[in-house]
Structure 1
Amino acid sequence: MKVRARAATPRARRRRPVSDAIVLTGRTIRLTRRNLDAVLTAMLPSIMLMLVFVYFFGGALHTGTEYVTYVVPGVMLLCAGFGSANSAVTVTHDRTGGIVDRFRSLVGGTPILAGHVAASVLRNTVASALVFGVAFLIGFRPDAGPLDWLAVAGILLMFILAISWLSACFGLIARSPEAAGGFTFLMMFLPYPSSAFVPIDTMPGWLHGFAQHQPVTPVIEALRGLLLDRPAGDSAWQALVWCGGILAVAAGLSGVLFRRRTA
């Protein structure tokens, strides 16, 4: 009877993916609390860029409104994307450090990755709120109503969730945490060829196609329209389609990659 009880324990644990993911989320958050410099490093570039663009370049850029009002949605996405991309480093660190091998026999792959993603969403939600606070201090005054704010929060959370799963995939592919850091550079760069900092029609003509049809632009335009109470056109549903597509592909691919990279 004792042998049966011991043999049943791992099976029982595998039937609790949600509780396992919650436990592993708590572990990742505790690791984050011990490494606050990494959190500050994720937030400070976005805040510094916002201050640089507003105070150094804002007077020379004409966007049809006060520049701080124009640039904040793009900075929010820059912060969310850059912070979420750090999950690639933490996933690679666990995989190459042997932690994944210890957890895999107990909880399986999905709760391990879901724990990293959930911690990323919580961490970057707090970071986004702090960036919003700095934006208010330097003069950002949105016209959004309560429902608009709910929509902004929903789109931003969807984007963070999608990029967190995508970065988890990259973390499973990368051979070292240093290599995984390349994904953070990609997410740091992607908002620049978009409508984040200047209108797309001010860019060279050959860049218009990419800037208009990459995932960051519709998300920024949707946030800008909601925050400023302006028509966003098709940007809202395009943003949801982009985020939903990235999320579905990344979540599915992460399961395949986990089995192959940890076999």
Structure 2
Amino acid sequence: MTTYPVRDSATMLRRNLKRMLRYPSMTVTLVAMPVIFLLLFVFILGETLGAGINGGGRAAYANYVAPAIIMMTVMSTVQGTAISVAMDMTEGIITRFRTMHIARVSVLTGHVIGSVLQAMLAVGIVTLVALAVGFRPTAGPLEWLATAGFLTVLAFAFVWLCVALGLAAGTVETASNTPMVLVLLPFLGSGFVPTDSMPAAVRWFAEYQPFTPIIEALRGLLTDAPVGNTVWIALAWCAVIALGGYLWSKRLFDRAS
């Protein structure tokens, strides 16, 4: 019999979307963290940090920090992918899938596409909250379109990484903890304060880790500011992470099968 990867992937996508609808608490939890960070940094720390960065106070700091929080929303959401994959691996459903005549690639593809859609939904919610608390982007229609495309690429890359982390985790608990580094690393970048305000060793790390060009590219797109080659550096990081995550996931899934 012949397998149909596209048809089987669509079936697995429907399965994952139905699970998201059945357990909305996970989506709410993953979205809640960036919203809390946004409110904390704008309303509690915004006046002081805004004055120190550009002398503009809370309103100016909202424009500075919102792109970083939007990026962190993607990182927060894709954590759920690792958890979902680990649940499938530990609950026996993958063993059942192996007895069915379906394309092997569809099992992971369903997770990836479903998680990208979930991430973009979460980004939309957090962006609305950011606008409500004072974020005032100056991007035009083309910049907004480019931003949506950039965030989709970002989500796709890190979803594959989280698929690999979920496959590598021995338990669901491990899968829920390992991707936390994706939420913590932006704090060691230019998301909340400029890198030139950091000590030398921390500044070096901040400037060369992947999240700094990603944040700067997103900030430039949303504020219509010159980005130079930052977007290309960010896309190169995304390509490396996507390829690495895919190859790692494929190896682990084939080994488990």
Structure 2: distance between partners of 1:241 and 1:184: 21
1:85 offset after TM fit, Å?
2.0
1:147 offset after TM fit, Å?
1.2
Match runs of 1:159-170 below 5 Å: 159-170=154-165
Q: Which residue of 1 aligns with 2:70?
A: 76
Q: Which residue of 2 aligns with 1:179?
A: 174
CA contact (8 A) 1:169 1:254 kept: yes
Moved segments of 4+, more than 6 Å = none
1:86 counterpart (80, 85, 89): 80
CA contact (8 A) 1:24 1:116 kept: yes
Provide the alpha-carbon RMSD of the alignment. 1.1
Structure 2: distance between partners of 1:98 and 1:249: 26
Structure 1: distance between partners of 2:205 and 2:176: 24
Structure 2: distance between partners of 1:109 and 1:258: 9
CA contact (8 A) 1:218 1:238 kept: yes
CA contact (8 A) 1:219 1:236 kept: yes
Q: Which residue of 1 aligns with 2:53?
A: 63
Q: How many residues align?
A: 250
Structure 1: distance between partners of 2:178 and 2:70: 18
Structure 2: distance between partners of 1:190 and 1:225: 20
Q: Of the two, which has the highest radius of gyration?
A: 1
Unaligned runs of 5+ in 1: 1-10
Query: What TM-score do you get using the length of structure 1 for normalisation?
Result: 0.92
Query: What TM-score do you get using the length of structure 2 for normalisation?
Result: 0.94
Match of 2:186, SS state, is coil
2:91 counterpart (90, 97, 108): 97
Aligned residue identity for 1:168: V
Structure 2: distance between partners of 1:63 and 1:110: 47
CA contact (8 A) 1:84 1:160 kept: yes
1:253 offset after TM fit, Å?
2.0
Structure 1: distance between partners of 2:232 and 2:16: 32
1:49 offset after TM fit, Å?
0.5
CA contact (8 A) 1:28 1:119 kept: yes
- Larger deviation, residues 178-187 vs 128-137: 178-187
1:215 offset after TM fit, Å?
1.2
1:229 counterpart (224, 227, 245): 224
Match of 2:53, SS state, is coil
Answering whether residue 37 of structure 2 is matched by residue 43 of structure 1, we say no
CA contact (8 A) 2:137 2:222 kept: yes
Q: Which residue of 1 aligns with 2:138?
A: 143
